[in-house]
Structure 1
Amino acid sequence: MIKRELDEKLIQQLKEKMDEGLLPQWVITDPDIYELEKEKIFAKSWQFLAHETELKEAGSYVTRWMVNDPILLVKNRKEEIKAYLNSCTHRGTQLCTADRGNKKTFTCPYHGWSYNLDGDLVGIVAGNKVYGEEMCKKEWGLREVPRVESYRGMIFGCLDPEAESLEDYLGEMKWYFDMMLGRGDGGMEVIGLPQRWVAKANWKSTAENFAADPYHVQTTHRSTVEMGISLKIRFMLGMDTKLL
Structure 2
Amino acid sequence: MSDKLDIKLIDRGDEHFRVSREAFVREDVMDAEYARIFDKCWLYVGHESEFKKPGDFVARTVARRNLLVTKNNEGEIGAFFNTCPHRGATVCREPRGNAKNFQCFYHGWVFGCDGKLKSQPGKESYCEDFNAEGRGNLMPVPRFAIYAGFCFVSYDPDIVPLEDYLAGAREYLDLVSKYSEAGMGVNEGMQEYAIRANWKLLVENSIDGYHAVSTHATYLDYLKNTNGSLSSTKLEGISRDLGNGHAVLEYAAPWGRPIASWVPLFGEDGKGEIEAIHARLVELHGQEMADRMAFKNRNILIFPNLVINDIMAITVRTFYPQSPDYMLINGWSLAPNEESEWARKYRLSNFLEFLGPGGFATPDDVEALESCQNGFKNHRQVPWSDISKGMSKDVPSYDDELQMRAFWSRWNQHINGLLPEPATRGAEAAPATERVVA
Normalising by the residue count of structure 2, what TM-score does the alignment of the two structures yield? 0.49
Aligned counterparts, 1:37-186, within 5 A = 37-129=33-125, 132-133=126-127, 136-137=130-131, 138-186=134-182
Structure 1 residue runs of 4 or more that deviate by more than 6 Å after TM superposition: none
- Deviation, 1:48, is 1.0
3-state secondary structure, aligned to 2:61: strand
The number of residues matched between the two structures is 229
Correspondence 1:235 to 2:230 = no
- Deviation, 1:136, is 1.1
Q: 2:214 aligns with which of 214, 219, 237?
A: 219
Once residues 68 and 44 of structure 1 are traced to their aligned partners in structure 2, the CA distance between those partners, rounded to angstroms, is 13
- Deviation, 1:233, is 9.6
Once residues 68 and 100 of structure 1 are traced to their aligned partners in structure 2, the CA distance between those partners, rounded to angstroms, is 18
Once residues 233 and 173 of structure 2 are traced to their aligned partners in structure 1, the CA distance between those partners, rounded to angstroms, is 25
- Which is bigger in relative contact order (C-alpha 8 A, separation at least 6)? 2
| Correspondence for 1:30 | 26
| Correspondence for 2:265 | none
Structure 2: gaps spanning 5 or more residues: 238-438
Is the Cα–Cα contact under 8 Å of residues 120 and 140 in structure 1 kept in the other structure? yes
CA change 1:159–1:9 in 2 (3 A) is closer
Once residues 135 and 175 of structure 1 are traced to their aligned partners in structure 2, the CA distance between those partners, rounded to angstroms, is 48
Once residues 144 and 182 of structure 2 are traced to their aligned partners in structure 1, the CA distance between those partners, rounded to angstroms, is 22
Is the Cα–Cα contact under 8 Å of residues 51 and 153 in structure 1 kept in the other structure? yes
Structure 1: gaps spanning 5 or more residues: 239-244
- Deviation, 1:217, is 2.2
Once residues 28 and 231 of structure 1 are traced to their aligned partners in structure 2, the CA distance between those partners, rounded to angstroms, is 37
Is the Cα–Cα contact under 8 Å of residues 62 and 72 in structure 1 kept in the other structure? yes
Is the Cα–Cα contact under 8 Å of residues 72 and 83 in structure 1 kept in the other structure? yes
The superposition leaves residues 123-158 of structure 1 with CA deviations (integer Å, 9 ceiling, x where unpaired) of: 2233445xx335713212111112111111111111
Is the Cα–Cα contact under 8 Å of residues 99 and 193 in structure 1 kept in the other structure? no
RMSD over aligned Cα atoms: 2.3
The superposition leaves residues 162-194 of structure 1 with CA deviations (integer Å, 9 ceiling, x where unpaired) of: 111111111111111122221233221222122
**Structure 1 counterpart of 2:130, which letter?**
C
Which structure: greater strand fraction? 2
- Deviation, 1:216, is 2.4
The superposition leaves residues 210-231 of structure 1 with CA deviations (integer Å, 9 ceiling, x where unpaired) of: 12x2222233212112323585
The superposition leaves residues 13-53 of structure 1 with CA deviations (integer Å, 9 ceiling, x where unpaired) of: 224x4567321112112111111111111111111111111
**Structure 1 counterpart of 2:213, which letter?**
Q
Which structure: greater helix fraction? 1
Correspondence 1:8 to 2:4 = yes
Is the Cα–Cα contact under 8 Å of residues 147 and 159 in structure 1 kept in the other structure? yes
**Structure 2 counterpart of 1:156, which letter?**
F
**Structure 2 counterpart of 1:140, which letter?**
G
- Deviation, 1:105, is 1.1
Normalising by the residue count of structure 1, what TM-score does the alignment of the two structures yield? 0.84
